[in-house]
Amino acid sequence: MLAGGAEAQDWRTLRERMLAEIDATYAETRAETGLAAMSPRVRAAMAKVERHRFVGPAERPLAYRNHPLPIGHGQTISQPYIVALSTDLVAPEPHHVVLEVGTGSGYQAAVLAEIVKRVYTIELLEPLARQAAARLAELGYGNVEVRVGDGYAGWPEKAPFDAIVVTAAAPAIPQALVEQLKPGGRMVIPVGGAGDIQRLVLLAKAADGTVTRRNVLPVRFVPLVPGK
Ligand code: SAH
């Protein structure tokens, strides 16, 4: 298995390079995000999850560039920096139960699953949900559950969540998601309509239920499509 071993080593080298690019982007955006560097937890997850397994063969050579990539059905796997930042912003802890909206390739779910106890993730498009679920199972992520559905409604049966990560842009923050966040919880969500400048918003729910929000960064995500 010399060739296989060598290949794994090559991917690891590319992943290290990706981490360096993410580090550089954290440094550039420090004033806006308030985060100087990836937390050790998020860095370890980003170093471990094999992004090349979450894209098709044509995109594989580009898997460790700090860019979004197409995943079919008009959707994209987010830029690695944005995945790291979104994960850091919700301050994940090992005992957390997290909701992701917009499963896509399953990559963000895998990064979260490396850190937290359990991840529930919702995808509107059935073929993407099915593919992500199969991929995550094959990679051994037994702590991720994928469901086909409309993320605007959240996943009330599994609520409340310690954190919510939304990976598609909504014109406004869906109230159902705010309600499904635990007191003390955090949600990260790109907010803005089609054609608008979107903002990555960090919402925090205090122990008394009071909600505060902060605009973190201008971003560009695919839209959170209203479900039927
Ligand atoms: N987190 C993904 C990136 C997903 S792109 C990853 O790591 O690869 C956003 C995803 O949100 C797309 O797959 C899109 O189909 C999905 N989506 C759009 N509207 C949705 C909705 N209302 N509910 C759930 N998923 C939705």
Give the structural domain span for 151.
4-219
Q: What is the pLDDT of residue 1?
A: 44
List of residues 6+ apart from 68 with CB closer than 8 A:
76, 77, 78, 79, 82
In a domain, 227, yes or no: no
Residue 7: which pLDDT band, with cuts at 50, 70 and 90?
A: confident
In a domain, 228, yes or no: no
In a domain, 198, yes or no: yes
- For residue range 106-116, list pLDDT tens digits in order: 999 999 999 99
Residues 6-12: contacts with CB under 8 Å, at least 24 apart: 11/50, 11/52, 11/64
User: How far is the centre of ligand 1, averaged over its atoms, from the C-alpha of 220 (Å)?
Assistant: 13
- For residue range 61-84, list pLDDT tens digits in order: 999 999 999 999 999 999 999 999
Residue with tokens 């992701």: 100
Closest atom of ligand 1 relative to the 111 alpha carbon: 7
Q: Contact 207/185 with Cβ under 8 angstroms?
A: no
- Distances in Å between the alpha carbon of 101 and those of 9, 170, 186? 32, 11, 14
In a domain, 225, yes or no: no
Query: What is the CATH number for 119?
Result: 3.40.50.150
- For residue range 125-150, list pLDDT tens digits in order: 999 999 999 999 999 999 999 999 99
User: How many independent structural domains does the chain possess?
Assistant: 1
Closest atom of ligand 1 relative to the 152 alpha carbon: 22
In a domain, 35, yes or no: yes
Residue 2 has pLDDT above 60, yes or no: no
Pocket of ligand 1 (CB under 6 A): 75-78, 101-102, 104-105, 107-108, 122-125, 128, 150-152, 167-168, 222, 224-225, 227
Q: What is the pLDDT of residue 3?
A: 57
Question: Catalytic residue at 39?
Answer: no
Q: What is the three-class DSSP state of 174?
A: coil
